[in-house]
Structure 1
Amino acid sequence: MAPESGSNKREALSAALRRYPQFELAIRRLMARSEAFCDMCEELAEAELALSRVDGVPSGLREARRAEWQELVDRLVAEVGAALLDKDVVVKPRPDR
C-alpha cells in the first residue's frame, strides 16, 4: 500500500466520522469490508478539502465553484448516511428504561 493510500483512508475515515460520529463502529466496519464505501468517503474528504480552498479560486468563478462543491459535499454526505443505514452493521440504540 502506498503511503498516500494510507493518508487517503485516514482522511476518508475522518470525513465520515465528522458527519456521523454516532456511527463510528459501523463506519469502521464498512471501511474494512467495502471498497465502494471507502471510495465514497474518500470522495467526501476530497470535496470537503476543495470546498475549504474555494477562497483561492479567482473571484469571477468563486461562487459558482463554491455552489458546485457544496452540492457535491451534500450529495456525498447523504450517500454515506444512506450506506450506513442500509447495512446490517448499524445497531439501533435501545430506548432508555
Structure 2
Amino acid sequence: MFAPSAAHFSVIILRFNDPRLMVRSIWCEPMMASNIAVIVTRFPLRELEIRRRCARDPKFAEICEDYAEAWQAFQRWKGAGPAGVTKANDYRQMLEELEAEILAILDAPRPNEG
C-alpha cells in the first residue's frame, strides 16, 4: 500500500499556491481539500478526476472524507505498537475497500459517455 509522506503533502500544498492552479483550490472547501489530498496522494494521476467528482458529487466527496479519516486512524493505530496491530489491520482493510469503491466510481462510464 502506498503511504503518503509529508513530502507528498508539501507538493500538494505548494500546487495550491501556484497562481496558475488557483481555480482548483476554489472547487472545494478547505476541509474538503485536506480530505481530498489523502486520496489524491494515493492516486496522483487521477487528481483532476477526483477533484471534479468531489465538486459535483457529495456522496463521492463523503467517501473521500471517510478515506481520509480511515487513513488517520490507520496511522494512529500503526504507531501504537503491538497493541494496535489488529486495529491497524482493520483500518488497512477498510482503506483497501474504500479505494476499490473510489476507483469503481471513477471508472464507471458517465451517462453521456454511453
State the TM-score, normalizing by the size of structure 1. 0.74
Match among 62, 72, 75 for residue 49 of structure 1: 72
Gaps of 5+ in 2: 1-27
Let me know the Cα RMSD of the aligned residues.
Answer: 2.4
One-letter amino acid matched to 2:80: G
Structure with larger RCO (C-alpha < 8 A, sep 6+): 1
Contact 2:75–2:88 (Cα < 8 Å) also in 1: no
Q: Which residue of 2 aligns with 1:91?
A: none
Query: How far apart, in 2, do the equivalents of 1:22 and 1:77 lie?
Result: 14
State the TM-score, normalizing by the size of structure 2. 0.64
Q: What number of residue pairs does the alignment pair up?
A: 84
Matched, 1:40 2:60: no
Deviations 1:66-91 (A, max 9, x none): 11111111111111111111153xxx
Gaps of 5+ in 1: 89-97
One-letter amino acid matched to 2:57: S
Matched, 1:29 2:52: yes
C-alpha displacement of 1:8: 3.1
